[in-house]
Amino acid sequence: MPYDSSHEPETIELDQTFLETVVYLDRTYQSYAINNLTYLVPIDEEEVERLHIMHNVLFRIFDGRLIFAPIHRPRRILDCGYGTASWAMEVAQLHPRCEVIGIDINPTMGPEEMPANLYLQVDDLNRRLSFDSHHFDLVNSWLIAQGIHVNRWTQYVRDLLRVIRPGGWCQMVEIYFNVQSDNGSLTPDHALYQWSAKYLESMNGLKDLRAATRLPNLMRDAGFVDVESRMISLPTCAWPSNARDKEIGAANRDNVQRMLYSFAIFPFTERLGMTSQDAHHLIDQACAEADNLTFKAYFPLYVCIGRKPRSRRWGF
Ligand SMILES: C[S@@+](CC[C@H](N)C(=O)[O-])C[C@H]1O[C@@H](n2cnc3c(N)ncnc32)[C@H](O)[C@@H]1O
């Protein structure tokens, strides 16, 4: 695949295919992602802002830790679907002797200036990873469920295992897009509930929006060991009573209000055939309910890590 890396002695020209965009209902999408039904989320300034907000939410949730796998002095790290490259940048700055490589189908959301040890490349995670086997100390894969084809998951996680060195780690983070509330106040009549149901339906046969819940099994089945997983509630607004979670909820409110629109508008209209007016109406109501403290609504966030065994004969 063509890639763009200003650090390479022979820079390969970035393929125009990945730079072409299309405007749909006032939002800008990558043409390649739309034409191939790879990623139905906008890639404009608004989305860049949302990703920065989301990154700050995760940063708070993980108490400022970017790497939670037990790794010291990593030499090579891969970030799959780097987005704005916030994670990759911070990791590269934290570990200046480590080569950090990010891959994404969309090269336009990354920073203009980068540390010398960060290399951003264009590639599609739905294809076999082009890296050598046993190469990385750590592979990071955060929030790319909407970009992985539904039948690709088993092979995707196997590919991650392949490129990790024996003893190296993989860390995955995904949201389960089925909104929850534990106090019984959110019912199927509510727009927020319907947003979830319709969003999952709109991706049926295309993406696995339940992949978050399957991460531990996917990792174990691929051959990872010491797999650990945790579900963390991601409040849709500042409803939690304890100060830390309230702050996370307040920060995440901004993300959720944008996400309910940016994730759904294309799938609702193009995949479910809703009119733009109906889609806007449902999303507006869902936003109001997400912002309503009494529902105590949250999206489950799944975090999963696993290690590649040291002593095994690998067939790759
Ligand atoms: C929700 S963003 C997450 C970005 C980043 N991981 C983060 O946590 O902020 C998803 C990213 O995955 C990228 N993406 C989606 N499908 C992809 C694919 N098949 N191959 C490579 N990148 C993909 C998108 O372009 C987008 O930048």
The 10s digit of each residue's pLDDT in 8-37 is: 433 445 678 899 999 999 999 999 999 999
Report the pLDDT averaged over residues 238-246: 97
Establish whether residue 105 lines the binding site of ligand 1, counting it when its CB lies within 6 angstroms of any ligand atom.
yes
- pLDDT score of 170: 98
Establish if 186 belongs to a structural domain: no
Q: Is 208 in the pocket of ligand 1 (CB under 6 A)?
A: no
Query: Quick check: is 158 in a domain?
Result: yes
How buried is 210 (Cβ within 10 angstroms: 0-12 exposed, 13-18 middle, 19+ buried)?
middle
| CATH code at position 145 | 3.40.50.150
Is 104 close to ligand 1, i.e. is its CB under 6 Å away?
yes
Decide the pairing of beta strands 99-104 and 118-122.
parallel
**Residues in the chain, how many?**
316
Residue 243 lies in a domain: no
Q: What is the pLDDT of residue 311?
A: 76
Q: Confidence band (pLDDT; 50, 70, 90) for 313? A: confident
- Domain presence at residue 3: no
What are 109's two structure tokens?
A: 């959301």
pLDDT tens for 206-236 read 999 999 999 999 999 999 999 999 999 999 9
Q: Above pLDDT 90, what percent of the chain?
A: 92
CA–CA distance, 57 with 67 (Å, rounded to integer): 15
How many angstroms separate the CA atoms of 289 and 236, rounded? 9
Q: How many domains does the chain have?
A: 1
In a domain? residue 211: yes
Q: Is the residue at 241 inside a domain?
A: no
pLDDT for 94 beyond 50:
yes
Q: Please give the full DSSP string across 216-230, using - where no structure is assigned.
A: HHHHHHHT-EEEEEE
Q: Is residue 62 part of a domain?
A: yes
Q: Which atom of ligand 1 is nearest to the CA of 54?
A: 9
Q: Which domain holds residue 106?
A: 16-179+207-236+299-307
Is residue 288 situated within a structural domain?
Answer: no
The fraction of the chain above a pLDDT of 70, given in percent, is 96
Nearest CA to ligand 1 atom 17: 147
